[in-house]
Structure 1
Amino acid sequence: MEEIRDLEIIRELLETRQYTNLRQKVAEMNTADVAAILEEMEEEELLKVFRILPKSMAADVFSYLEVDHQQMIITSLSDKEAANIIDNLMADDATDLLEEMPANVVKKLLANASADTRRDINHLLRYPEDSAGSIMTVEYVDLKENMTVQDAINRIRQVGVDSETINICYVLDAKRTLVGTVALRYLLITPPDAVIGEMMHENVVFINTMMDQEEVARQFQKYDFTAMPVVDNENRLVGIITVDDIVDILQEEATEDIEKMAAIVPTDKPYMKTTVFETWKKRIPWLLLLMISATFTGSIITSFEDALSACVVLTAYIPMLMDTGGNAGGQASVTIIRGLSLNEIEFKDAFKVVWKEARVAVLCGLTLAAANFVKLLLFDRVTIAVAAVVCLTLVAAVFIAKIIGCLLPMLAKKIGFDPAVMASPFITTIVDALSLLIYFSIATAIMHI
């Protein structure tokens, strides 16, 4: 409600051209709140308000905006104004922005940016996408072992304003090798003449530049840090990653997994900003593949056409058996995929996982079969033979579905694929075909059709 009220006030000040009051109003607000309000505005309004923002907060507000709004603002500003925004962004945010922009715009921005900004951005751009090196920032406080506490505090005053965080300072030797860390709070309570090398924490947990961003997020979760140093193969400090970047990564990875599990090619655009054609392109590949694979199910039914004509009632239970098998496989696959993503399950645990899922499958299958057996006899009024065929198939289908559902994601992870691909739609197609084969095989054996 407060955000809506602020939006109305800002719009009123803008319409009545009370620019001084508008500038004062936004200057008193949190930068994230200002960005949220700008996101709700039309492009023309957004640009006007952004130009009115105090220079000291413009870059911070800019960093919170969606990429398409960032691009719109950058292309609307003069070269000098745009370069000023880039110079005041953290290096990792500036790099993310430039990666999304056309090459000609990037070239112009870098030409007008400061030499330090160009160096930092070019440094980050050389790392593979989704690696620790590509998401780190190069703005941090570094200290030397032979510094005194007073020297360190003076160093923080000198470079701290432009640093991502000053809560943790990183101690380097002459070769810029990371040898320790010092928390700001210890610097504040330690005598000024104490030597950094004698008080630093030497057992440093660090991240390699080539580590995948998903693994980086796990390291943050494991150690509960707000920032972690990033080193190259020679253990030289090249940057740091902060927890705000990890929150973005977790959201991005979770969204990507959900889309893959729903048989959608992942996209980095919000739903409302994705065109119909783009949405079609992301969904149609898997739909085509699944449709083609589902033709095998039709082939199985066709091959048992004579059996079905001999006992037509069997046809009525095909959807139930296929759906139940698919649901059972989906339950197992989602559980295992989540366990794999959290590193709770590894491929070496395959036997334990299969053994557990097998017992769960038997219990679920027998429960479903018992309930279905009663329904078939009391409500559907079928023969005991038909009820037996349906219920035995149900047990077998659930068992096979859960085994496939737990094994496929683990096999995918082992050979280098994303386990999320082996989710409900893919597994359902396989289980449907197997369920039908089992169904007709049992029917043939019991009813001799």
Structure 2
Amino acid sequence: MNNLLFGYLDKERLETLRNKFSEMNVVDIAQMFEEIPEEKKLIIFRILPKDIAAEVFSYMSQKEQQFIIESITDKEVQSLIEDLYLDDTVDFIEELPANVVKKVLRNTDEQTRKTINHFLNYPENSAGSIMTIEYVNLHKEMTIKQAIARIKEIGVDRETIDTCYVTSKGRKLEGVILLRQLILSEEEEVIENIMDKDLKYVHTHDDQEKAASLFKKYDLITMPVTDNENRLVGIITVDDILDIIEEETTEDFQKMAAMEPSEEEYLETSVFSLAKHRIVWLLVLMISATFTGNIIKRYEDVLQTVVILTAFIPMLMDTGGNAGSQSSTLIIRGLALGEIKPKDWVKVVFKELRVSLLVGITLAVVNFGRIYFLEKVDFYVSLTVCITLFCTVIIAKAVGGLLPIVAKKLKVDPAIMASPLITTIVDALVLVLYFATATVLLGI
């Protein structure tokens, strides 16, 4: 498909190419820019019909947006910004270098510039930083006929008209009404009588994760954002929330893998930047792993007396790490989705204890049969290994289930308490338990 379009360009059939773009989805066009040779990108962007150019731009990657802004004229920048929704403008400005931001701001009118700067002053990751001011608000005293007339008047420049928010004269948020209700109601009916007063909203300084949680819980398409005096200042739309969910999930994956979060795409990130994001946690985990080495040194006499004990250390440590990771993954997910609260820690520990008893007994019995009957290892050595294994699973499940809750309580991201950190902690506890059990049972 792309080759066909480029063929039109090479043959200078620009009008045909423009018509082809008019029939395509704007998201597909934006993704196509990733494959277009750099020398042709600006030509193709200028060919785009004016009514879809801004929308295509909003779906481009940050790298492509920067290239377009740097390449087009000031007049073209001004025209592009006028056609963009304000939240899309703020989103891409946040990622641009200072010199490119200056080019954008100097080509906007004073009121738009003030509004953009106001948005940029909201705390990062707050509801105010992701909202848009392109919404339809209606007054509660309006009739249905007046409301529909207002939507027709201003709706063309609004991000959505499906959901309209009802305000008083002082912009106080009073309720919400759907376009469907307006169309199906009598023209002389007053909005106040049919609007829904039980609406969900967030404040400008609330965390974006709170907004995402409310969207999921109540199946919302949009959500109003108010200031401290309950005045409507903007709305958040579901497409922005999907971006937030993707960002938060990516960040959690990175933290669970013991890396510093990064918003850059993998292939666009330099080797030095990737190394910088990984090396800190690797150093911390490496240094913390010396504790396990010190524990082994302390019990050198035990290992020299019963050398076979050394062979089972990797199995015990791996099982402990795996068991802890299983628990922590489930608890971190539960905390992220709001299914588990910090106050539920007793329930979590009790449930993980029961799970670990079942799992621990099964693993211990299977291992005893393998070690004692198949490998012909001494009975007391086999017993030592299997008792340690049983206790390891219990400890690992408890640690894996409890640490994310402790992190949440301390207002630290629970994702930090994932596999690498839990494995390090469990390894140290397992070794101490293993050698202590061996000392008692084998009389060393």
Scaled by the length of structure 1, the TM-score of the pair is: 0.96
Structure 2 Cα separation of the partners of residues 68 and 438 of structure 1: 53
For residue 287 of structure 1, report the CA deviation from its aligned partner.
0.6
Paired AA for residue 7 in structure 1? N
For residue 193 of structure 1, report the CA deviation from its aligned partner.
2.7
Residues 233-260 of structure 1 show CA distances to partners (whole Å, capped at 9, x for unaligned) of 1100000011111111111111111111
Structure 2 Cα separation of the partners of residues 115 and 9 of structure 1: 43
For residue 367 of structure 1, report the CA deviation from its aligned partner.
0.6
Instruction: Find the counterpart in structure 2 of residue 3 from structure 1.
Output: none
194, 200, 205: which one aligns with 2:189: 194
Contact kept? 1:231, 1:237, Cα under 8 Å: yes
Structure 1 Cα separation of the partners of residues 316 and 84 of structure 2: 57
Contact kept? 2:78, 2:108, Cα under 8 Å: yes
170, 174, 178: which one aligns with 1:183: 178
For residue 369 of structure 1, report the CA deviation from its aligned partner.
0.7
Instruction: Work out whether 1:386 is the aligned partner of 2:381.
Output: yes
Instruction: Find the counterpart in structure 2 of residue 154 from structure 1.
Output: 149
Instruction: Find the counterpart in structure 1 of residue 334 from structure 2.
Output: 339
For residue 344 of structure 1, report the CA deviation from its aligned partner.
0.6
Moved more, 428-437 or 376-385: 376-385
Structure 2 Cα separation of the partners of residues 427 and 102 of structure 1: 39
Instruction: Find the counterpart in structure 2 of residue 168 from structure 1.
Output: 163
For residue 380 of structure 1, report the CA deviation from its aligned partner.
1.9
Instruction: Find the counterpart in structure 2 of residue 107 from structure 1.
Output: 102
Instruction: Find the counterpart in structure 2 of residue 54 from structure 1.
Output: 49
Structure 1 Cα separation of the partners of residues 165 and 81 of structure 2: 26
Contact kept? 1:87, 1:114, Cα under 8 Å: no
Instruction: Find the counterpart in structure 1 of residue 128 from structure 2.
Output: 133
Structure 2 Cα separation of the partners of residues 247 and 99 of structure 1: 18
Instruction: Find the counterpart in structure 2 of residue 123 from structure 1.
Output: 118
SS in 1 for 2:106: helix
Instruction: Work out whether 1:226 is the aligned partner of 2:233.
Output: no
Contact kept? 1:361, 1:402, Cα under 8 Å: yes
For residue 335 of structure 1, report the CA deviation from its aligned partner.
0.6
For residue 46 of structure 1, report the CA deviation from its aligned partner.
2.2
For residue 17 of structure 1, report the CA deviation from its aligned partner.
2.2
Number of positions where the alignment pairs a residue of Structure 1 with one of Structure 2:
444
SS in 2 for 1:39: coil
For residue 158 of structure 1, report the CA deviation from its aligned partner.
1.7
Moved more, 225-234 or 35-44: 35-44
SS in 2 for 1:182: strand
Contact kept? 1:261, 1:420, Cα under 8 Å: yes
For the aligned residue pairs, the C-alpha RMSD in angstroms reads 1.2
CA distance 1:119–1:157, change in 2 (3 Å) = farther
For residue 204 of structure 1, report the CA deviation from its aligned partner.
2.1
Structure 2 Cα separation of the partners of residues 327 and 333 of structure 1: 10
For residue 268 of structure 1, report the CA deviation from its aligned partner.
0.8
For residue 223 of structure 1, report the CA deviation from its aligned partner.
0.9
- What runs of 5+ residues in structure 2 fail to find an aligned partner? none
For residue 194 of structure 1, report the CA deviation from its aligned partner.
2.5
Structure 2 Cα separation of the partners of residues 272 and 407 of structure 1: 36
Instruction: Find the counterpart in structure 2 of residue 320 from structure 1.
Output: 315
SS in 2 for 1:234: coil
Structure 2 Cα separation of the partners of residues 108 and 64 of structure 1: 20
Structure 2 Cα separation of the partners of residues 130 and 329 of structure 1: 31
Q: Which runs of 4+ in 1 moved over 3 A?
A: none
SS in 1 for 2:175: strand
Moved more, 388-397 or 197-206: 197-206
- What runs of 5+ residues in structure 1 fail to find an aligned partner? 1-5
For residue 442 of structure 1, report the CA deviation from its aligned partner.
0.5
Instruction: Work out whether 1:366 is the aligned partner of 2:361.
Output: yes
Instruction: Find the counterpart in structure 2 of residue 283 from structure 1.
Output: 278
Moved more, 74-83 or 407-416: 74-83
Paired AA for residue 366 in structure 1? I
Instruction: Find the counterpart in structure 1 of residue 303 from structure 2.
Output: 308
Contact kept? 1:328, 1:402, Cα under 8 Å: yes
Scaled by the length of structure 2, the TM-score of the pair is: 0.98
Residues 3-51 of structure 1 show CA distances to partners (whole Å, capped at 9, x for unaligned) of xxx2121122222222111111111111111112122223222222111
Instruction: Find the counterpart in structure 1 of residue 346 from structure 2.
Output: 351
Paired AA for residue 67 in structure 1? Q
Instruction: Find the counterpart in structure 1 of residue 417 from structure 2.
Output: 422
SS in 2 for 1:239: strand
Sequence identity (%): 53
Structure 2 Cα separation of the partners of residues 265 and 42 of structure 1: 33
Contact kept? 2:33, 2:64, Cα under 8 Å: no
Instruction: Find the counterpart in structure 1 of residue 266 from structure 2.
Output: 271
Residues 354-384 of structure 1 show CA distances to partners (whole Å, capped at 9, x for unaligned) of 0110111111111111111011023322100
